[in-house]
Each structure stands twice: as C-alpha cells, then as structure tokens.
Structure 1
Amino acid sequence: MTHDKLITVIVSTYNRPDALELVLEGCLAQTDRAFEIIVADDGSGPATREVVERIKRRSPVPLTHVWHADDGFRLAAIRNKAIVQARGEYLIFLDGDCVPQRDFVARHRALAAPRTVVTGSRILLGPRLTALAAARHLPLAEQSLAFWLRQRATGQVNKIAPLFARLPDMARRNVQGFVWRGIKGCNLAAWRSDVVAVNGFDGSFVGWGHEDADFVARLHNAGVVRKKGFWATEVLHLWHPEASRGSEGPNHAKVLARLADRSTRAQEGLEELTAAG
C-alpha cells in the first residue's frame, strides 16, 4: 500500500478510560501519520468521553468518538457504527486495552495486500505491570530492553522478542483455508471495500465471543485470503479479568453455520445500520 493512502484505526472500548488513554497515546506516537482514529464506544460513561476529548485537542491526526447506549456487549454493532464513519480505504481494528508499538500502523500498511485480511497477534501483560502502566501513564512502547527483561523475569509479560525484532512479509504468513487459531479482533485489518462487501460485522452476535471469527469466516467465504501478522504487528494487551463466556457456545455455533452454508453477508450489518438511520 502506498504511503499516502488513508488508514482508519478503529479502537473499541467499554468503560476502561485508563487503558484507553494508554492506547490512544500509543496511537499518537506512531511513525506513520497517514491515518485517522475512531473510538468505537460500546456505551461507556462520561469518563471515557473526557479522555477522548482531552487527547483529541492535541492529536496530530483526526480523532472521532462514536457511541451507542449501553445495552449489553454489542461490540460488533459499535464497530459497524465506526466503519460507517471511517474515511480510510484500509481499516485496522484495535481494542482499547491493546497498546500499539510505534510502528504498528506502518507494519500493517506494509503487510496490506489486495483481497487480504491481516490477523495480528498480541503480547500479554500481567496485572502488576498493567497497574503500573496505568498509574504512571507509562509509554510502554518506549521502554528499554532492560525494563522488559525485568518484566519477563517476574512473569509480567509472556514474551518480549517480538518487541525488538521484525520479520518481513513472506509466504509463511499466508493461511490456507479457514483456521480458527490466531483470529483476534483486538488486532485485525482489512480493506474497506472487502468489509463493505460482506456487510461488516454481524450485530446479531451479542455477548462475548467469535464475532471476529464470524467476520473472518465470511471474508474467507467471499474469497478474501488471510495473512498472519506475527513478529510485525504485536500489541501490548493490558491485563483484565476474564469476561463472562456464557454466549460463547451459541456464537461458536453461528460461525460453524457460516462455514457450512458459505454465506458472506452479515445478518445485522452495515446496510441494516444505515437503513435504520
């Protein structure tokens, strides 16, 4: 992808303003500045809006906040609302508890290819390091090797090598067929034209789980190939208690049905959102 094409980074969040602040600060520190940020807010309270407005005042790139009322876990629906507002030709989906490295946008730009979805990976941080970063507003992506060696030694990070090494685009990144493993909506990128063609995310997925796998499955059914972003696009995933997984079973079954019937379009997607006004 050329360096002048606008990218939209869609950051999803829900009532975690301290984590969101770290993520947005990481976005503002990107080496590649040809992007905009849209915060996709799944019904957070005023503290989140305050963080967005404060950072927006000094952001070197456009920053927009889209919100809908809190009516349970509706991540797919709020992502669609952000997609409708996006101006970029390429969309990167990032969670509001996943701090990007300084070359995150640049590396996604380098991996972008026609009719391809890129699934990135993450580095898991522990509770003590997460609390430290939030309390001190620590720029995690700028910390030294010595800092990360200490965190690794105390079990506060699960790996550090991808922080200091990058692998180029190569055949090993390509995924043959549909594979569940490694699909993470917290770090995912696709062309807007492909996203529109499958009607975006499916808002009929409510509660935790597999709305990202459904999205990738429908792209796969539509002929979009998948590329892995390992050792290039890793994000620093801040610790949080595990969400309720009561909806995982039904959501998993819906993805299996998508794969079986080869359907491509979301049941409650972009078209339904725009038609509702």
Structure 2
Amino acid sequence: MPEMLPPLPSDAQGRAILLLAPSARADLDDLQCLAARLYLDSLRREKRIEPEVILCDPEGAFGADLPARLGLTHPPRRLSVEGLPPCEPLICPPAMPMMTRAMLSLEWVRSEAISEVITVDLSGAGFYLALALRQGLLARPLELTVIETGGAKNHDFTAFRFPEFAEIGLYHMEAETLRRAGRRLLPSLGTGSAATETPTRLLFLLADSGLVELDWIDRLLPRLTEAQQVEEVQFLRPGAPLTAAQKAKAAQAAGRIGASVRFLTSSGERPKLSGPTLAVIVGRGGAAGLLAHLAASWGLPLASAHPVAAEDAADGPFARLPKSPTLSAVAIDGALRAPLAVATPAWQISTPAAAPVALASDDGPLVTVCLVTFNRPGMLREAIASLEAQTSAAFEVILVDDGSSTPDALAALDALEEPFARRGWRIIRKQNGYLGAARNTAAAEARTPYLLFMDDDNIAKPMMIERFLHAAQASGADVLTCFNDSFRQTLPDATGYNRPQVTHRRLFMGGAEGLTPLYNILGDANALVRRSTFEAVGGFHEDYGVTHEDWEFFLAASRTGARLEVLPEALFYYRVADISMTTVTQMERNLFHSTAPLLAGEGAPAGYFILRSLAKTFGFAPFETTKDP
C-alpha cells in the first residue's frame, strides 16, 4: 500500500489548512497531535508542500511545545473571528467549549480563501463545517478531509473508561464529521523489507490509557522464554510521560529478567535507540493504529502481541496487547527468534460518495409557517413583519390564536384578517389548549411538504425560510433546527426599525441523543420539519400546563429513524424573558416529557431510575423531589 497522500490544492485553487482544536481531554489532545504529526511527516517524506496549521484554541489549552510536537519551525497561526455574540453557556455546559470552537472554525473558514480543510476526528472542530457542506450553505466549493484515529468513543470503550458528558458530545461531533467528510485518511501499514538485525530491545508504545498503570508488565515479561536476549526494555507514551510510580513498577519488572529499563519521550520524531529494537504496541483500536504507523515510520519491526481476531483484521497487522496478555509472550518470543519484516507507513484513503438530492423549485409554497400566539399583539406584529420581509416567497402562514382574551390582542387579530386573506394566509381561532395543541392545529391544516414552527415572541431573520429550505433539500434531513441569537429588548435603529439587541448566541448539536436526558442539545421549537415525519411521529404532546413538547418531539423523531440535523447558522432572534412557560410550569413534569422517548418500552422503570441517579449525581435539582413510580 503506497504512502502517497492526495495532492493539496494549488495557490490558484485556494489554500489548504490543517485545523486543530482542543478536544474533551488532554490525552485525546495528545492523540490528535500525534495524528497530525504523522500526516505532516508523510508529506515531508514525500517532499510535498505542507498545509498551513491553524489553531482554534481561544482558551490556550495547547501548550507552548505544540510546534515541536508537530515538527514546525514556528508557532501555528490562531484563528480569530470578530463581531460574533458570546455563546450561551447553559445550553450544554460540558460540551459548549467544543461547540463554540466548531462554530468559530466554520465562521473563520467562511471568511478565508480556503479550498481544503484537513482536521482530526478527535477535535470536533470540523463538526459544523461538515454540516454546512452537507447542507450546501458555503458560498464556494471546499473539501473536508478528516484524519481518522478510531475516535474518542473507540478509545474510551477499549480503555473501559466511562464517558463524561463532554465526551458524549464529542462522540456525536466526530461521528457526524466523519459521516460528512469528502475524504478520510486512516493511518495504516504497507509491505516493507526484511529486518537486518535480531532485536535485543523491546519498545512498548503505550496507546491505551487503561493499560498505562502497567499492571500487565509483571505478568508478561517473566513469560518470555527468549528473555535472556532482551538487554533493555523501553517505554514511550507520546505526549504524556509516565508517572514516578509507573516508572518504578516498570523498572522492577525489567529487573526480574535482568534487563535495564529506559523511558523515552517523543512527540513524533524518532527517539535515539541504543540497539536493534522490536516495537510492541500496547493498546487496541485506532490509537494502536497511530502508534503502529509511527513505529513503521521509525523503521522498527512490529510484534503481533496476540493473534489477530477476524473482527480485528481490518485494523492491520500491528501489535495489540489485550487486557490479560496470556498469549502475548508467545508472539513476542517468536518475533525475538525470527526478525520480522519492517513495514512501511501508509494511508488508507476513502472518498464516501454523497447521494445527490434534487432541489425543488420555488413554484408554489413549500413551507407552512405554523405561527402561534396568545395575548401578545405587540410581539405578534414584530413576528409577522419579519415573515413579510423574507427573501423567499415559497411559504404560507397559518396563524393559530390559542384563545387570546385581551381587547388589544383581539383587535390585533381582527386587523390581520384582511392582509392575511390578501396573501392567501389563514387565521384559526381556538380555545386555549397550550403550545402543543396550538401547533398541532396549524400542522393539521397544512398541505405543504414542510412545516416551520414559530412562536409569536420570536423574530425571523430575512433569510430564515430560504436557508432552511435549501439546507433541507440539499441534505435530505427530516428535521432541521438551527442556532439563534437571544435578546431581551429591541431598540430603533437609524431607519426606525426595532432591532433586537443580541446578548448571546444559542448553539445546538442536533441528534446527540446521549446528552438529552439533562440538556436540550437538539434545538429550539423554531424548526423546519418534513410534514410526513411530523405526522408519523404524532406531533407534539398536548398535556395542558406542561412544556418541553419540542424537546420530546425532536427526541422521538430521532429515535424513530428520522434524520435530525442542526443548521449551523442563527436564523432567528429568540426573545428571553424572566417569566416564560418554562418558569411558570412544573419542571419535573416538563422533564418527564422531554425524556419520555428514552424511557418508553419495557425498560422504562430501569431507565427512569438511571436517569434520576445521573441527575442527582450531577446536581440536577428538579429530579430530587420526583416521586418514584
């Protein structure tokens, strides 16, 4: 398998960048840096032009040694984006730093003459960029290339690490980035040449944080029948040196077979070795693949630490050490007796084919805006004015009045009858039944392929419907939520327009179900939904005095197979008030609805108690007073 990587674009086509951003944990950052270093070193061996390295690291999480770890002669440039509101931290505090960096990365790429972005799956930095590409939202063509490491989920599961909420968010971000990448690069091994020397040293390359405590070394080394020829045992964990306790344990184990011990440090460059060395990869999954590629680039023979199982064959012929290495000594003995071939570093390159989606024309309405109101005539006028200012004409409006009773509200509705009729829009008046029932009433009257739900206190940006429609048709998504810009008041500008005074931007992830028990990471109710999907799910719940109907609907749609995505742009202004439906309703009942799709079926009681336990563990107060079923 050749090492040759795809050519980077020429200057005339726009430049290529290698985009790096901190991940959920420091050890994942170490693996990300290693993957980036392997990619850059491959270009250097081929004497190819390197992409510019760009950091999205507002917090300064990467250390000052990053240039050395990447083999650079100068510090990478840090991206900067001006004029954006701060991100609302309460949407999902554990994952918000990663989401913010992904949003900043997308906005920076929009403003630059970039034709290719290369990133590593572990960072999550390409998440919103991948969505924007899939949804056809970028103004010019761009290639997204992702270097695969196996992913944080694979790394954590093989290490028996229970994920925190930030890691659960990263699992979703990296999976979606890979799913929508135009090109994927996986470190691998190619056919090499025979080793010329019999190894007298073992180099354990540590990939798996679950094995770093070195408990296995006491069981492994004494089993080596060829131990007499091992003069030195070496240990290396790229980016993270061993602790004093780990070093003491390793030294004791090496001493029992009469070998010296040495601890090496390397961020990717070949360390100085004292003699013929056999590399043994300690770990499984993608991280082990990175280290196998690294050892091959150093010209070291690799031992298979245990027989390759059929399900692992795709990982390549590199060493993997199981949690209980009972057979590892046999494999290492064989490699010590008969020198192995030295593999060459290579890359598996895949280019997933994107299924083309036909874009519908603007002939006739494609979207029904399901607008609901209750006793807020001033806000309603602002919402309607924002719809009248839309850049797309492919929509109609069904306004449902949910039992307004004040004279001002009734007069405002009467005044809207004639202009609505002139546009072919409709007004439906009904008895008060709460948000879910009002939205369902509007949806039941719609005949267009898509529904767009909107509350009377929100204000649409002029391109809201145009962008929603284009993204839905380009991606084939069944449900599209989006970012929004929150505000508390409007002030007149120079033209007299009451402009919302934005305080924060609210980001969402889309279908990240693992975070939904405690956080609505799915999106706001102001969303575009395929009408057939809405009908298949059954619409919103209609329990009076209970909210979270949008949260429950999105989760139910996702769990029934609908494709739920977030459109990574702020398409409307979201009004924030001290008194709202979520503040005047009972949070326990709201949360029960928002998690009901997760608790449905035979496993509901067990799921409910697990949810309560997690909520209490992480200090989520509303569940502490919930009565057990």
Question: TM-score range, shorter-chain basis?
Answer: 0.7 to 0.9
Q: Which ranges in structure 2 are unaligned for 5 or more consecutive residues?
A: 1-358, 603-629
Root-mean-square deviation (Å)? 2.9
Q: Which among 109, 115, 120 is matched to residue 469 of structure 2?
A: 109
* Counterpart pick for 1:189 among 513, 521, 528: 528
In structure 2, which of residues 595, 601, 605 is the aligned counterpart of residue 256 of structure 1?
A: 595
Residue 221 (structure 1) aligned with residue 580 (structure 2): no
Determine if contact 1:98/1:186 at 8 Å carries over to the other structure.
Answer: no
For the 8 Å contact 1:28–1:61, the answer to whether it is kept is no
Q: Could you tell me which of 136, 144, 157 is aligned with 2:502?
A: 157
- Equivalent of 2:497 in 134, 138, 144: 138
Q: Distance in 1 between matches of 2:573 and 2:584?
A: 23
Residue in structure 2 matching 1:69, options 425, 431, 437 = 431
Identity of matched residues, %: 25
TM-superposed deviation, 1:65: 1.5
User: Is the CA contact (8 Å cut-off) linking 1:41 and 1:78 kept in structure 2?
Assistant: yes
Distance 1:56 1:191 in 2: 28
Q: Give how far 1:137 is off.
A: 7.6
Residue in 2 that maps onto 1:241: 578
Distance 1:104 1:61, change over 3 A: farther
Asked whether 1:26 is paired with 2:26, we answer no
In our comparison, the structure showing a higher alpha carbon Rg is: 2
From the superposition, tell whether residues 237 and 174 of structure 1 become closer, same or farther in structure 2 (CA, over 3 Å): closer
Q: Could you tell me how far apart the structure 2 residues matched to 1:103 and 1:159 are?
A: 20
TM-score by length of 2: 0.34
- In structure 2, distance between residues paired with 1:61 and 1:219: 32
2:367 maps to: 7
Matched positions, count: 230
Corresponding position of 1:48 = 409
Residue 173 (structure 1) shift: 6.8
Asked if 2 retains the 8 angstrom alpha-carbon contact of 1:94 and 1:185, the reply is no
Residues in 1 aligned to 2:470 and 2:560: alpha-carbon distance in whole angstroms: 23
**3-state SS, counterpart of residue 22 of structure 1:** helix
Give the secondary-structure state (helix, strand or coil) at the position aligned to 1:70: coil
Structure 1 residue runs of 5 or longer lacking an equivalent are 141-147, 149-155, 163-171, 264-277
CA distance in 1: counterparts of 2:559 and 2:448, whole angstroms: 24
2-side partners of 1:26 and 1:139: how far apart? Answer: 11
Distance 2:366 2:404 in 1: 28
Residue of structure 1 equivalent to 2:483: 121
Q: Residue type of the partner of 1:63?
A: W
1:208 CA displacement: 4.6
Is contact 2:477–2:565 with CA below 8 Å preserved after alignment?
no
Structure-1-length-normalised TM-score: 0.72
d(CA) in 2 for partners of 1:183, 1:137: 35
The amino acid across from 2:419 in the alignment is R
Code of the residue aligned with 2:503 in structure 1: it is: N
Checking the alignment, whether the CA contact within 8 Å between 1:31 and 1:102 is kept in structure 2 is yes
Change (3 A) 1:182 1:12: farther
Distance, in Å, in 2 between the alignment partners of 1:262 and 1:194 is 21
Residue 254 of structure 1, CA deviation: 3.0
